[in-house]
Amino acid sequence: MNRRHQLDPNRIPEHVAIIMDGNGRWASGRGLPRYRGHHEGLTAAKRTVKGARDIGVRVLSLFTFSTENWKRAEEEVSFLMNLITSHLRREYDFYRDNSVRVLHSGDIDGLPVNLQTEIASVTADTAHHDGILVNLAINYGGRDEIVRSIARLTRRDGTDSQIDADTVRAHLDLPDLPDPDLVIRTGGEYRLSNFLLWQCAYSELYFTDVLWPDFGVDDLIDAIVDYQRRERRFGAVPCAT
């Protein structure tokens, strides 16, 4: 039963970021090869994008492949690169039908050339869509993004430039996106795993034991309902009543 009626429509988080964890464990628990979990994870991602759009979330960031994931077995990494490339190519109808604008964050130069081409194509071809913004974090690491931001800043302005929080932010991968209001991690782990470290300074964190391939719209709603119960203070002390 859909629990959307539990949501306060006036307090929907503008930006939700998700660490999609548990694909491999989902497959192993069913006696299946790990790649089956990654396939199911794509289905969960599409389901979540559509659910977030229907709820009224404006930006959805999905941690798709981290800078640390290169340490996995070569066969699995190769499979993931091919899966992401083919998925981007074949989902244009989904992007159009759901007014999805696709963005990318991460070190694109470190990706295979064919995947770089697909990312460039899908971001250009969906740039006019006015629905939900979906940020695919591919070859992404929070520390790496900060290092690349500072490198861009110093190359542009010179090493003697004043560096403060505003100038660093201006050189992040997607500086115009609002910081995540809510970060969801599936799979029962309790860490950020180097995801959006700069942007998540005051994000609300929500952890669930649900493995990513099983994550559904009701799970997303549960996370947002939990978020709506919280008082966000951003380091300030609430006024006494």
For the annotated catalytic residues, the residue numbers are 21, 69
CA–CA distance from 10 to each of 51, 57, 110, 167, 183 (Å)? 17, 11, 40, 32, 19
> How many CA atoms, within 13 angstroms, populate the side-chain half-sphere of residue 80?
21
Q: Please give the angle made by the CA atoms of 145, 127 and 180, to the nearest 5 degrees.
A: 40
Closest of 197, 165, 182, 233 to residue 56, by C-alpha:
182
Strand ranges in 55-163 using DSSP code E only, listed in sequence order: 59-66, 101-105, 133-140
CA–CA separation, 40 and 2 (whole Å): 21
CA–CA separation, 176 and 150 (whole Å): 17
Strand ranges in the chain using DSSP code E only, listed in sequence order: 15-19, 59-66, 101-105, 133-140, 182-185, 204-207
Strands, sheet with 101-105, edge to edge from the N-terminal-most edge strand: 101-105, 133-140, 59-66, 15-19, 182-185, 204-207
